[in-house]
Chain A
Amino acid sequence: MATAAKGVVLLDFWVSPFGQRCRIALAEKGVEYEYKEENLWDKSPLLLKANPVHKKIPVLIHEGNPICESLVIVQYIDEVWSNNPLLPSDPYERAQARFWADFVDKKIYECGTRLWKLKGEAQEEARKDMIEILKLLEGELGDKKYFGGETFGFVDVAFVPFSAWFYSYETCGNFSVEKECPKLVAWAKRCMERESVSKSLHDPHKVHEFVGHLKKMYGVE
């Protein structure tokens, strides 16, 4: 590795919600790290060496060791830096947190992609699915301050980066997240009051502009 054996490096891509999870977790723990922006259309030798299996960001490199997969990285960060724990201490509550983080992982990105990529009936189905997914998450949040209860936790970290995509989902799918899931919108606003989140997420209009570029690339209009 070209980087120092000690220290923390994050290989990332500016708009990636998966990368943002790692940025938020590191910030919550107050860990200093070197951020390296990757060009996904021209991946660096470092990235290809650090993640030979998937060749994807994010990758956290700690003391020369690469860790891949965003939720694996967040759990690693939580275990190495034990201040401000992201996962609760009770095993049952930890299982609930892992379930919901896994739910976000399996559902949101895939459905979101269908929303901007597809048209007609398929897009309409994606819209219905997205609303259902968001409502389920809102049900889990309930009247809590965060998914983690009083404390900002694992599920919050896993889900909040996607809040910057709500505007894009709404626009592509022709619905209103605020109307369908007002508690989620309120939750996202509360999360944005945390510096770890506000400094990691991008303006929703910038995200939507990025989606516009993707659409052009895939020939979607």
Chain B
Amino acid sequence: MVSGGEVKLFGMWASPAVRRVEWALKLKGIKYEYVEEDISNKSGALVQYNPINKQVPVLLHNGKPIVESLVILEYIDEVWKHHPILPKDPYERAMARFWAAYSEDKCRDAVRRVFFAEGGERAKAIECLEETLRALDGELEGKEFFGGENIGFSDLVLGWMAFWLGVSEEVASFEVLDPKKFPWFTSWIDNFLQVPAIKENLPPRDKTVAFFHGYRRLHLAAPNC
């Protein structure tokens, strides 16, 4: 375990954005205190440290807050330089950041659309999602991880798909993770979930499925919330 000041993480157990920060902390062996937030009743601390978005994750390092999971990952990588997450080469760093942005701008939205789509909208939404999987599959060709031989920034950012996409499939009754269509991506899921820092830091599957069932029901009942 490495130190380097007091590290506190405000999170929520089912949140993929929080897990990616935890994965980074675990990979680097950084000692931290975890505080579970009740997002239906946000604590004063969360509002104080993230007044703009009032969201988890919030990393507190020596009392100073850092918010937005991708910003937090880069911060962690810059402060604790061992076991680097981002590559050294500027072009490779740009590629890692590109795929991280792709995860946040395209993949999340694509999964969300399928998750909440009903009736006729579903087919189109699945098509969009498969397009993103095709792009990811193409990028992974010949590689074990997005980061190459070891997991890196893009793996941590895209890592939510290795677990939460499967959960979404179960909750919303759809299937996209086809090894025949996306051989590299489905292999990557297996590889990623085998990494100890990841394997030992996933939420319980049944509890997560139940949580997202509730989340989906709530949203479909009141779509503007």
Residues of A within 8 A of B (CB): 53, 62, 65, 67-69, 71-73, 75-76, 79-80, 91-92, 94-95, 98-99, 102-103, 136
Contact = CB atoms under 8 A, between A and B. Distances in A.
Contacts of B90: 76, 79-80
Contact of B98 (A62, A72, A102): A72
B8 interface: no
Contacts of A98: 68, 70-71, 74
Q: How large is the interface on B (under 10, 10 to 19, 20 to 34, 35 or more residues)?
A: 20 to 34
A76 B94 contact: yes
Given A62-B91, A76-B90, 8 more contacts: A72-B97, A72-B101, A91-B75, A95-B72, A95-B74, A98-B71, A99-B68, A103-B52
A202 B91 CA distance: 30
B71 A67 contact: no
A102 B66 CA distance: 13
Interface in B38-66: 52, 61, 64, 66
Question: Which A-B residue pairs are the 3 nearest by beta carbons?
Answer: A91-B78, A79-B90, A95-B75
Contacts of A69: 97-98, 101
Contacts of A92: 61, 64, 66, 75
B102 interface: yes
Contacts of B79: 91
A136 B93 contact: no
B135 interface: yes
B114 interface: no
